[in-house]
Every structure is written in C-alpha cells, then in structure tokens.
C-alpha cells in the first residue's frame, strides 16, 4: 500500500489484544489474539510483527507462508478460502491492501483486485467485554454480475488450542455438548435448515486439552445469523503462518443466492470471537456482557410469565382461560400469553396458519374481553404467532398459493402440516405487518411469542427461481424491526419449535428465546446450562410445568421444577385451574422469591462448577461485586459416589464472609442420607450460618447427598445485612 504507514495495528479492550501485522507485501495478518496484559501487547507489536514469519519448509513454497485476514491460494493457503467469488467462472482473488483505518478498538482494511474488479472491506471491532466482531463487505466494481460464494471470517489459533467443543441435539433435547481433538483436516459444521436448528453448534470452542467451566485457555466463535451457517476449525500440517489452526465461519450461501449487480455490495453477518484464560465461564462472561449492551436488551425487570399452551392446547374455551388468568394473577404472574389456537380455523395444527384474524367461533367477541381482563388483573397480555408459515388449509394459501416459498411445480414436503411463506416478497411482508400490527393495536398486546416450527427445505423463490434462505432471513429481520418501530415497548420472543433459532442475529431484535419445547427439569438443567454459554439468563425462557412433563412423560417433584425454572426468565406452563392449594401456595412463594431476587439473577455473573461426578451439577449467579450469590446444587441421576467430597462454590470472594441460607420458599430438598453435614443443618435454620469466602471458594464444603431428580437452593449474602 504505497505511502501508508506499515506499522502494526493493535486493538485492545476488555483485557484482550488483537495484533495485525502489515509489514510485509502480503495482506495484513492477525499475529496475536489473546491476553492483553496491560500495554505489553502494544509495546511488543513491532516484535510480534518481526517474529511473524515462519520457516520455509522443504518441498514447499520458496517464500514463507502467511495466513492473512482473507486467506487464499495466493499466499499458499491450501485450506478453506476466506473469500470465494464467481463471475463466469470461479475467481481466486489476488487482493492488495489499498487503505487502512483504525482506532483503539476497531480497524477496517480495504482490499482490491483490479483484474477481478472486486473490493472487499474487512472490519474488526473489539468491544469493552473483549468480544471481537468481524464482517466482510464485498462490492462488485465490474460491469457484469458477481456471485458471492463465501465470505468467511477466520482467525488463527496456537498449537495449544487442541480440543474442540461444540453442540448438537434434536427437538426437546437441544444443546448437547460434544468434544473432539483438533486433527489435521477440517471440522466443518454446515447448517442447511434456514435457521440454526436444534443441532446448532451455538458456539465453537477450541481450547487447551481438558478445559472446563472454570479452567483452561479457550478461543471461541459464534455466527450471529439466523439462517444457513457454517462453522470451521481447520489444521494443516504446514500451519497457519506462525500459528497452528484456524477458527471461524459465517453465513452458508447456496449457489446463486447472492449475485451482485455492478456497484452492489454484500455485507456478511458478523462472526463473533472471544478468548478467555478462565475457561468456559470466562467466555460466558464476555458474551453476556456483549449481549447486555445490545440496544434491544430489556431495561425493565423480566416479568413472570404464564403461557397457555400446555394448559389448554387448542381448546380455547374463553371462560376457562379467564379463570386461568385469575389464577395466574393470584400466584404472582405478570405476563399472560395466549398461545396457539385463537385465529381463524385453528382447532388443530393442520389448518389456519396464515389467517391472522380472530376466530369468531372460538372468540365470538374477539380478544377484547381477555385482553381487558388480563390488563385489569395487572398483567401484560401476550399473543402467539407463527408469521413465517402457512397451512394449505387456510384462506391465505387458497388465495395466494404463489406466496409459498417452494419450487414452481410443488409446495415441497410438509413439516407439521405447514409450509413457508416467502417473506422476501414485499406483498407478503406487508400483509403480515398489517395483520400483526392491527392486532397489537386493537388488543393492546404487550408481547409476541414468535414461533418458527420447521426447517426451510427447497427454499426457492417462485418468482426468481433463486435460493432464498438468505433473503428470507433478512426479510424476517426487517419485519421484526418494522413492528418494533411501529410499536415502541412491544417485546418479542424467538421460539423455533423450542431452541432452533437461538443466535445473536435474532437477539438483536427480540427480547428472549425459548430454549426448548421441553419443560422436563432434568432435560432443562443441561439445556439451560449450555444455552447460557452464549445467552444471559434473563433472555432464556424457563417455565415450570406439571409434575408429568408433556414431552418426556417423566414425573418430577415441584421443588426440583421450581429450582430449575428460577435460573432464567421464569414462567409457568401449567393449567393452574387443576392445581392443588398446596401447589398454588408453592408457586406463589416461588414467584415472590423470583421477583425479589431477579435483580441478581438477571444481572450477575453466571458460574458453573467443574464437578468430578457427572450425575451432579452446581451452578449459580454471583453479583458483580461478589457480595451476594444464589446457587443450585442438583442431582440429575443416581450417583455411584456414597458421600459428598468438599465442593467449591465458584466465583465467590475469598476475602469476604457470607451468610449461607437454605431457601425454604421452593420446598424441602429430597435427601438420600441419614443426616446432613453439620454446617448444612445450620444453613437450614432461619438465620443460616456464617462461613468465610475462602472456605467456600477455595477449600470447599461437603454437600448433602440428594435423591436423583432433586435440588437445593442456597443463598449467600452479607452477614451484616438483613437476614
């Protein structure tokens, strides 16, 4: 780049440094990503640049290899390319650096290939929490169409990053962690569902072998996009510059999906990267801070919710629902959500989707009565929609079959008896906006449960014949943005047959996610633990259901269900009209405890212990000043261990003392023992027991032996504060 300073660029924020080398004739390279250590990375930037040239290998290029910000074959990179383009044929761009802009926390590199007539701007921004956002802007500078095949964001990793952790799953059993060693070759996860899916990787984490929640050095990436995705870890024998492997990914584009006319640009979704030397909890802390800084992040306390689905399903008897609303208000519910079944022809899941008008057979006077009753009881009123889908048995599908997103000669295969609407067509989006917006205004709706119950297979526009998952995702974002602009204060939940659309693209315009369609507390303990790797608890819907779970038919105790649902945006999914007085009283106490503690539960630091016994789990929320905390100790299944070893409560301050109390509001724990450890017996008393932070956080204490499917809730507070 003639005339430009080739000095290294160093971004520093949140205890993290990212250093770019610009000294060679190659494109810029990331030569360091990790701990900032004060100004050391800045002071050593020149030396990092000096030492960024690897050896020249035998039987190899005659010059040292580089791994640049847009790795291609030009630099001798034989792995997956950063950028792939096509005009009449596949292009291997030969990019040159033409401009650089940078500040303390952001840098943008402008690259051009004159022969290929393309310009690429690669942007990096390091936020105050140490999360690095990377995106690519590709502009067609030629006079013929340019197809974007891939626009990946990739960062290099050191050799000690030798183990991969990501997630998989299925409906009602999302967020299953899986580990594999880093090997030569590529670990390439592709999402071709038009949404992230129940098997979404969520985060790809690469770290030092055996890393856990509280230990190990880890590097991670997240694709902040709600459509097709790809996730990459790759290692070649020749490495990546002076480093070993690469991490990243971005939107997965289908052939012909993004074709740029002359002068047009494509901006990739952001890929987010985070580093920590404090294990997975360190990553969570960074991502939670990043999400809590979103302009859309709720600024008011998260209301206790009752959702009607598992209470009434499609049986919308308005008198029964009014009774349910009164019961909900009596136990402390603050938001009442009317789920599926209220709109035209919707008596089952085979009909009605797309006809967003109130069914007068079910609700002769409309929804005005229940909305007024709910608001009169002091609760917010929410309503379920599935705007992106349609049943063939609907007025909409009969009048506008061309609105279905599918190849011309077919509707494609049904999924839950439904098909996809082409939101990228303005007439479709306008219809949905007008329908939803008018209902929000007419019935003073405070909250939308926005569902998305199928994958997008054969997502092809009938008008253009082009694949449309990309356009569908952008159109969904635009519709959400339009509704929120028209109705300030409206909140929206992202539900996708449970947890199939959980990502930081959708969470920039929604206010919570439904983590899973199962409320089974055994399943939920794991689902919420791993969803919380990325999403802070106040955005994760977590509901108490009846004793027999709808999805698994497992029976569980009320205290266990209450403890599990507490650690999220809490709610109820239960027909309260069939609850006993004892159950209603238990729900009321739990609701009051939730409301009195949500300032901590929804703003503190999430911590999880690394226990040696997989049958047990210990997790909690610690206030930022570490003066208070709430922990749950959980037995998921029977354990072969006959006693409890000393167990450390992570995140507490060893220099403090704490009053430790077993909270009675959620019911008595189910114990598998003759007697409890002495300290625990005192913690169960009204004033609890005072213990040192050092003992709790460093030496640990023995815990009681629990029966499987049970939990205890412990609160830690200032011993000089109110009891």
Active-site residues: which are they?
451, 517
Query: What is the distance, to the nearest Å, from the Cα of residue 43 to the centroid of all Cα atoms in its chain?
Result: 36
Calculate the CA dihedral of residues 594, 598, 604, 607 and round it to 10 degrees.
20
Write out 106-151 in H/E/C secondary structure: EEEEEEEECCCCEEEEEEEEECCCCCEEEEEEEEECCCCCEEEEEE
Give φ, ψ of 325 to 5 degrees: -65, -40
Instruction: Point out which residues pair with 36 in neighbouring strands.
Output: none
Do 459 and 471 form a contact (C-beta atoms < 8 A)? no
CA 145 to chain centre: 35
Q: Cα–Cα–Cα angle for 368, 370, 376, nearest 5°?
A: 100
Report the SS3 class of residue 399: helix
Tokens of 277: 């030397």
Q: Contacts from 407-412 at CB under 8 Å and sequence distance 24+?
A: 407/458, 407/460, 407/462, 408/462, 408/465, 410/458, 412/457, 412/458
For residues 514 and 495, what is the distance between their CA atoms, to the nearest angstrom? Answer: 5
Q: Tell me, what DSSP letter sits at residue 522?
A: H
CB 392, CB 419: distance < 8 Å:
yes
* CA separation for the pair 71, 82 (Å, rounded): 5
Q: How many C-beta atoms lie closer than 10 Å to residue 550's C-beta? A: 17
Pick the closest to residue 358 from 445, 444, 439 (CA basis).
439
Give how far Cα 696 sits from Cα of 339, 648, 692, 715, 716, Å.
44, 6, 6, 13, 10
Q: What is the largest CA-CA distance in the chain?
A: 82
Is the Cα torsion angle 546, 551, 555, 559 positive or negative in sign? negative
Which runs of E-coded beta strand occur in 261-361? 265-267, 271-276, 305-307, 335-338
CA-derived radius of gyration, the chain? 27
């Amino acid at each position: 780049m003639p005339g430009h300073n080739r000095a290294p660029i160093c971004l520093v924020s949140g205890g993290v440094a990212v250093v770019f080398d610009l000294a060679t004739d190659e494109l810029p390279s990331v030569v360091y990503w990790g701990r900032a250590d004060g100004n050391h990375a800045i002071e050593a930037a020149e030396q990092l640049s000096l030492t960024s040239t690897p050896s020249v290998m035998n039987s190899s290029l005659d010059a040292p290899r580089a791994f640049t910000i847009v790795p291609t074959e030009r630099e001798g990179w034989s792995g997956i390319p950063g950028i792939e383009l096509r005009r009449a044929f596949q292009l291997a761009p030969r990019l040159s650096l033409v401009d650089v802009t940078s500040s303390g926390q952001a840098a943008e590199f402008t690259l051009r290939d004159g022969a290929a007539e393309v310009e690429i701007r690669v942007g990096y921004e390091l936020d105050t929490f140490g999360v690095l956002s990377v995106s690519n802007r590709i502009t067609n500078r030629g006079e013929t169409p340019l197809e974007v095949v891939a626009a990946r964001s990739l960062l290099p990793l050191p050799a000690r990053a030798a183990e991969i952790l990501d997630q998989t799953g299925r409906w009602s059993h999302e967020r299953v962690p899986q580990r594999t060693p880093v090997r030569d070759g590529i670990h390439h996860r592709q999402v071709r569902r038009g949404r992230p899916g129940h098997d979404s990787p969520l985060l790809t984490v690469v770290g030092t072998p055996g890393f856990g929640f509280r230990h190990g050095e880890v590097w991670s990436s997240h694709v902040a996009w709600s459509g097709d995705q790809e996730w990459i870890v790759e290692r070649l024998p020749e490495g990546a510059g002076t480093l070993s492997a690469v991490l990243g990914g971005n939107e997965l584009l289908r052939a012909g999906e993004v074709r740029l006319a002359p002068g047009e640009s494509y901006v990739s979704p952001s890929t987010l990267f985070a580093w920590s030397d404090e294990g997975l909890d360190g990553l969570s802390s960074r991502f939670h801070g990043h999400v809590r800084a979103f302009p859309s992040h709720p600024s008011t306390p998260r209301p206790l919710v009752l959702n009607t689905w598992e209470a009434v399903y499609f049986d919308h008897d308005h008198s029964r629902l009014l009774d349910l609303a009164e019961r909900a208000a009596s136990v402390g519910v603050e938001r009442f959500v009317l789920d599926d079944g209220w709109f035209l022809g919707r008596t089952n899941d085979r009909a009605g989707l797309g006809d967003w008008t109130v069914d007068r057979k079910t609700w002769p006077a409309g929804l005005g009565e229940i909305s007024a009753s709910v608001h009169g009881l002091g609760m917010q009123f929410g309503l379920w929609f599935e705007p992106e889908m349609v049943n063939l048995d609907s007025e909409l599908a009969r009048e506008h079959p061309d609105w279905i997103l599918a190849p011309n000669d077919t509707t494609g295969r049904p999924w839950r008896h439904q098909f996809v609407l082409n939101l990228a067509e303005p007439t479709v989006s306008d219809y949905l906006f007008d329908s939803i917006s008018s209902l929000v205004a007419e019935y003073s709706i405070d909250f939308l449960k926005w569902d998305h119950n199928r994958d997008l297979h054969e997502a092809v526009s009938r008008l253009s014949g082009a694949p449309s998952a990309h356009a569908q995702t952008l159109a969904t974002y635009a519709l959400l943005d339009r509704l929120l602009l028209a109705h300030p204060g409206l909140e929206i939940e992202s539900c996708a047959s449970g947890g199939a659309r959980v990502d930081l693209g959708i969470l920039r315009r929604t206010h919570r996610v439904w983590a899973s369609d199962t409320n089974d507390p055994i399943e939920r303990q794991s689902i919420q633990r791993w969803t919380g790797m990325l999403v802070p608890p106040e955005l994760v819907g977590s509901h108490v259901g009846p004793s027999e779970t709808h999805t698994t038919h497992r029976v569980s105790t009320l205290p266990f269900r209450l403890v599990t649902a507490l650690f999220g945006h809490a709610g109820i999914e239960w027909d309260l009209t069939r609850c006993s007085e004892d159950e209603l009283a238990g729900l009321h106490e739990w609701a009051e405890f939730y409301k009195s503690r949500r300032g901590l539960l929804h703003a503190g630091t999430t911590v999880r212990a690394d226990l040696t016994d997989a049958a047990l789990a210990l997790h909690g929320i610690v206030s930022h000043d570490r003066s208070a905390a709430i922990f749950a100790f959980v037995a998921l299944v029977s354990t072969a261990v006959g006693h409890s070893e000393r167990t450390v409560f992570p995140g507490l301050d060893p220099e403090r003392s704490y009053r430790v109390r077993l909270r009675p509001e959620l019911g008595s724990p189910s114990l598998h023992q003759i007697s409890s450890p002495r300290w625990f017996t005192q913690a169960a008393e009204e004033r609890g027991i005072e213990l040192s932070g050092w003992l709790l956080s460093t030496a640990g204490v023995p815990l009681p032996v629990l029966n499987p499917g049970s939990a205890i809730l412990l609160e830690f507070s200032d011993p000089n504060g109110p009891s």
